[in-house]
Structures are given as structure tokens and as C-alpha cells.
């Protein structure tokens, strides 16, 4: 900056300072301090803070116990009496009531016909797959051949739909007594064999009785086995 410019700036600064001094001493526009005060806007009133009420304590909710559900009384069970099973009577192991003795294997069931006596009678047996008829009559005037043929005819008459054909004849022993036995087969209307049996007869001289036994079934070998077993278990008089 050159010298002339510096002088000009100093002059301007002095003039400005003098103007401020004149104004402070009452010169210029002639306005007073009071006028300035009266012309100033009144201060805005600051509202007093509104008191905020303290929060009311909310009482804690008292827990309500759940309503108890009534429990129905437990019924006292009535004691049920235990049924005592009735024991099934064992079938007799022997037929020993009419002056003779016949031992029976397990599975043989005896049916006595009414009116049986020591002199005359008849029993039926169901014996492991076969049917058995045992009969006895007084020994006077009868023969083994007559007893066998009479039983054979009775069987034929009781089964008119079947034809009985004899297939064998032989002798056997009951103790010291001799007997006669025949074998037969049962044939239906179509010519088919549907079964068969054995008929045997013998005397018991000591008891003056004659016996006839008939064993029938569908299996010839089973029939033969059961017949032999019954004959072997038979005694004209039981030794005490």
C-alpha cells in the first residue's frame, strides 16, 4: 500500500470515531434514554411451571386363587366274590359194578343204561375215536355165534342207509375163556367205505354170564387197537 492510501484510511478512521463521540454526548437526533426505554417492547411474561402431580401409586392386584373344582367322591369298589371253579370230576378208571371188571384208559367215558343188573345190562363208551357197546346176558341158551350175529343184525337195522359187509372172523381169549370176533365194513350208497367195526362174544362161566362187545369207528387200525385194549383190561371176576 502507498503512502497516499494510508493517509486517506487514517482520516476516515478519525472521522468515524468523532461521529461516535458526538452521538454519545447528545448530539444527532436528540432521542433520550427514556424514549429508548419506552420504545423497547415489554418483556414477555414467562408462565410459572405448572406443578405436575405426583403419580398415584397403583396398588398391586391381589391374586385371586383359582376356584377349586369340586372332586366327586371316589366310589368304593364293591368286592366281587371270586368264583371258585368247580372241579370237573375225573371219569372212572374202571367199570366195576355188575360182577365183572373192565379197566378204562384215560379218555374213556362210560354211560350206563337204566335197568342194569349183575345178570343183564348194557353200557356205552366213548373211547378215543371209537364207540363201544358192552352188553351181558345170562349164559343159559346162548352161544357166541348167536350173540355176534344178533348184534350184527341190530347194527344193520339201525343204519338203513349203510350196508354192513363182514370181512373177517377169528377167535380170541379173555383170560381162560375163548371168544369169537368178526370184522365188518360199512359201505354207503355210492359204494364208498365210511367205517367199520369188530363184534366179539365170550362167556364168563363163573358168573354164568355171556358178554358181547362192539367197537366201531372210521379207522380200522384204531378200532382194532381199542378192541384189543378193552379185551386185555376185562376180567370176569375181580380178584380181591
Domains and CATH numbers, the chain: 94-235 (3.40.1000.10)
**For the chain, what's the residue count?**
240
What is the pLDDT, as a whole number, of residue 34?
45
Confidence bin at 236 (pLDDT 50/70/90): very high
- Smallest CA-to-CA distance from 134 within 61, 209, 53, 83 is with 209
* pLDDT tens figures, 91-115: 568 899 899 999 998 878 899 888 9
Q: Which residues pair with 235 in a beta bridge?
A: 101
pLDDT at 203 over 90: yes
Can you point out the beta strands (E) in 104-205?
108-112, 121-127, 130-138, 163-174, 177-187, 193-204
> What's the grid cell of residue 120?
343183564
* pLDDT tens profile 156-181: 999 999 999 999 999 999 988 999 99
Rounded CA separation 107/128 (Å): 6
What confidence tens digit (pLDDT) does each residue in 13-64 have?
Answer: 444 444 444 344 444 444 443 444 444 445 555 555 555 555 555 556 555 5
54-105: per-residue pLDDT in tens? 555 555 655 555 555 555 555 555 555 565 556 555 656 889 989 999 999 8
DSSP-assigned beta bridge partners for residue 234:
102
Look at residue 78 and give its three-state secondary structure. Answer: coil
End-to-end CA distance of the chain: 176
CA distance 107 to 111: 13
Residue 128 contacts residue 105 (beta carbons within 8 Å) = yes
**Pick from 210, 236, 238, 237: nearest CA to 120:** 210
Report the side by side order of strands in the sheet with 209-217: 108-112, 121-127, 130-138, 209-217, 193-204, 177-187, 163-174
Query: Can you say whether residue 95 is alpha, beta or left, with left for phi > 0 and alpha for psi between -120 and 50 degrees?
Result: beta
**C-alpha grid cell for residue 25?**
454526548
Between CA 199 and CA 172 the distance in angstroms is 12
Q: Which three cell numbers stand for residue 196?
A: 367199520
Q: What sign for the dihedral angle of Cα 110, 116, 118, 120?
A: negative
Band the pLDDT of 128: cuts 50, 70, 90. Answer: confident
Amino acid at each position: 500500500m502507498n503512502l497516499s492510501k494510508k493517509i486517506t484510511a487514517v482520516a476516515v478512521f478519525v472521522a468515524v470515531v468523532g461521529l461516535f463521540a458526538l452521538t454519545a454526548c447528545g448530539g444527532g437526533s436528540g432521542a433520550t434514554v427514556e424514549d429508548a426505554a419506552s420504545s423497547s417492547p415489554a418483556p414477555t411474561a414467562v408462565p410459572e411451571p405448572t406443578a405436575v402431580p405426583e403419580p398415584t401409586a397403583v396398588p398391586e392386584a391381589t391374586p385371586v386363587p383359582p376356584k377349586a373344582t369340586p372332586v366327586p367322591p371316589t366310589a368304593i369298589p364293591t368286592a366281587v366274590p371270586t368264583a371258585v371253579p368247580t372241579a370237573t370230576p375225573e371219569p372212572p378208571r374202571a367199570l366195576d359194578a355188575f360182577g365183572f371188571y373192565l379197566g378204562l384208559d384215560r379218555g374213556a367215558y362210560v354211560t350206563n343204561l337204566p335197568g342194569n343188573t349183575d345178570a343183564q345190562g348194557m353200557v356205552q363208551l366213548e373211547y378215543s375215536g371209537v364207540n363201544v357197546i358192552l352188553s351181558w346176558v345170562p349164559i343159559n341158551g346162548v352161544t357166541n355165534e348167536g350173540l355176534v350175529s344178533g348184534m350184527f343184525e341190530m347194527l344193520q337195522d339201525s343204519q338203513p342207509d349203510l350196508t354192513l359187509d363182514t370181512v373177517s372172523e377169528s377167535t380170541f381169549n379173555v383170560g381162560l375163556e375163548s371168544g369169537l370176533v368178526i370184522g365188518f365194513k360199512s359201505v354207503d350208497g355210492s359204494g364208498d367205505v365210511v367205517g367199520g367195526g369188530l363184534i366179539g362174544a365170550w362167556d364168563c362161566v363163573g358168573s354164568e354170564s355171556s358178554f358181547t362187545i362192539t367197537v366201531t369207528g372210521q379207522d380200522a387200525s384204531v378200532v382194532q387197537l381199542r378192541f384189543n385194549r378193552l379185551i386185555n383190561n376185562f376180567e370176569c371176576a375181580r380178584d380181591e
